[in-house]
Structure 1
């Protein structure tokens, strides 16, 4: 089944937040850039869930490896309790407590939110002015919601495109 997905863009931001879906996206790794106040998360982003027209067949998914980079991060809290397969799956990402900033000498953005990443294994919360999500390759059509390590390029925090999309 050939399914060519046309992506709207390669870099998504907090301004796209309301149209983004996060349910069942896999988290592979976290990295912290303490000098630039960034939290980087290596994920598989599910662009589309495709239901089968044939009875007894499962969903298929269009999935891309992506680097999610939150900017101006502070007050990071992680509460995780995994008794399962050592995997982290996002249930929902939401934001609350919008705050208007007046520290223009330090931060170029004017608002900050409290972000909560609710996972099946726990919660991650922090304050940030927003994010950039860098899509690293064209979505892969497959039956799994996550991409095998070799196909996704292992763990990466690369902030650009790895192939010609």
Structure 2
């Protein structure tokens, strides 16, 4: 049995990888920043997001969910063949993930599966060797699925899990 690093929220660890993919979820995670970083081997794709650790069912008289949320950095390694776009039709420029899919490599090169970041205002597909996700702060109970800039310490791409 795994000991939680943050018992109140149920978070099991602060650093995750593609080996944990089946037990992870990103639904309604707000993306605060996205960058491509050049590396020695090949580029890396980094996302600064609010990771929803757990949805909390409302307790009467409340009618809406609350959320255990933490700022996190999601890093995809050895990224190539990036395709997709952004679709902002109104003035609200917010990126929110719906799902992250790991798809079989179309050319059979299993070491580089295709990843699909499906969002409410964006869609990205790319090949990558894998990922790591660093939960940078202990989760906090929030009335909504996103934290304020002050709560999360602004936009960051720090690759270090909280202790």
Question: Which interval holds the TM-score relative to the shorter structure?
Answer: 0.7 to 0.9
- 2:154 counterpart of 1:154: yes
Q: Deviations over 1:82-118 (max 9, x none)?
A: 12410001111101123665xxxxxxxx722100000
Q: State which of 20, 24, 37 in structure 2 corresponds to 1:20.
A: 24
Kept in 1: contact 2:82–2:126 (CA 8 A)? yes
- How far apart are residue 10 of structure 1 and its match? 1.1
Q: 1:6 to 1:91 in 2, by over 3 A?
A: closer
**Cα offset for 1:80?**
1.1
1:30 aligns with 2:37: no
Which ranges of 4 or more aligned residues in structure 1 deviate by more than 6 Å?
Answer: none
What are the ranges of 5 or more consecutive residues in structure 2 without an aligned counterpart?
1-6
Secondary structure of 1:111 counterpart: coil
Counterpart position of 2:142: 142
What's the RMSD between the two structures over aligned residues? 1.7
8 Å CA contact retained: 2:50, 2:146: yes
Residue 104 of structure 1 aligns with which residue?
A: none
Query: Once the 2 structures are TM-superposed, how far is the Cα of residue 122 of structure 1 from its aligned partner?
Result: 2.3
Matches within 5 A, 1:119-130: 119-130=119-130
**Aligned residues between the structures:** 153
Q: 1:75 to 1:119 in 2, by over 3 A?
A: same
3-state SS, counterpart of residue 17 of structure 1: helix
Secondary structure of the 1:82 match is coil
> Following TM superposition, by how much is the alpha carbon of 1:56 offset from its aligned partner in structure 2, in angstroms?
4.2
The two structures have a TM-score, normalised by structure 2, of 0.87
Q: Does 1:87 align with 2:91?
A: no
Shift of 1:53: 2.0
Q: 1:58 aligns with which of 35, 46, 64?
A: 64
**TM-score with structure 1 length normalisation?**
0.86
